Amino acid sequence: MMSNAAIELNHVSFSYNHEPVLTDISLRIESGDYVGVIGPNGGGKTTLMRLLLGLLQPQEGTITLWGTPLPRFKNWHSIGYVPQRVDSGDFRLPITVKEVVSFGAPRNNKIATAAALEQVGIADLAKRGLRELSGGQQQKVFIAKALAAEPKVLILDEPTVGVDIAAQDDFYQLIARLNMEQRLTIIMVSHDIDVVVNEVSKLACINDHLVYHGLPKNFIEKDYLSNLYGKTRKFILHGH
């Protein structure tokens, strides 16, 4: 049978300076999955994303991307990455939305830039300065920048930090739409567990090792959460 795996980790372990952070992680992400990566602070979620992006190399185990071992993988444009939000106060130069998004497009391609702005619904903001925008709007700019490279997988690290509640609903709708309509594979690190369990198709819970990987429903029913976050933690799973 042909493998449909976009990303596969086999017995991956990683340490920073001999301090183990991830141990024996085996995980398969299928094309079209919407994976929520959850787990306690310091559990290794961001480190795992850095491994998938080839920014760190595991000391043990292997990672393959569309069947190619990571050290030989070249199609990095296939993996879009939206890092944790940087405060736009850090941007000293006045820069427009269109300019930011065009940095993501191959050779600053205008069509790819316009398409990405359209995809996230911010074409009307193209000429505005990044610094003038709300947190939620800026978040969309960085998603558009990632989409301008036409990736097959989009990795988001804590994407709703600094985004107000009203804009968060809109944000999750956008991500669901990219997953459903564009068949984009999504990997989203989040601390917002109550929301995430209702949005994603698969959960991966990381706390040094892979505590859980599967449907959100089984994660809740089997009470993994109380073991990780304390006995009083309760969940609400909305009907779909």
* Interaction site with ligand ADP (CB under 6 A): 16, 21, 39, 41-47
Q: Which of residues 130 and 204 has its CB atom nearest to ligand ADP in the complex?
A: 204
In angstroms, give the least distance from the CB of 207 to ligand ADP.
8
In angstroms, give the least distance from the CB of 110 to ligand ADP.
36
In angstroms, give the least distance from the CB of 189 to ligand ADP.
7
Query: Coil, strand, or helix at residue 167?
Result: helix
Q: String of b and e for 6-28 (b: at least 16 CB within 10 Å)?
A: bbbbeebbbeeeeeebbbebebb
In angstroms, give the least distance from the CB of 56 to ligand ADP.
9
Which H helix or E strand runs over 98? Answer: helix 97-102
Q: Which of residues 43 and 151 has its CB atom nearest to ligand ADP in the complex?
A: 43
Q: Which of residues 39 and 216 has its CB atom nearest to ligand ADP in the complex?
A: 39
Cα separation of 24 and 12, whole Å?
5
Q: Which of residues 45 and 152 has its CB atom nearest to ligand ADP in the complex?
A: 45
Q: How far apart are the first and last CA of the chain?
A: 32
Q: What is the Cα 198 distance to its own chain's centre?
A: 16
In angstroms, give the least distance from the CB of 233 to ligand ADP.
17
In angstroms, give the least distance from the CB of 206 to ligand ADP.
7
Cα separation of 77 and 34, whole Å?
19
Q: Which of residues 51 and 147 has its CB atom nearest to ligand ADP in the complex?
A: 51
Question: Which residue from 81, 91, 170 is spatially nearest to 129, judged by alpha carbons?
Answer: 91
Q: Which of residues 10 and 46 has its CB atom nearest to ligand ADP in the complex?
A: 46
Question: Which residue from 238, 199, 239, 192 is spatially nearest to 215, judged by alpha carbons?
Answer: 199
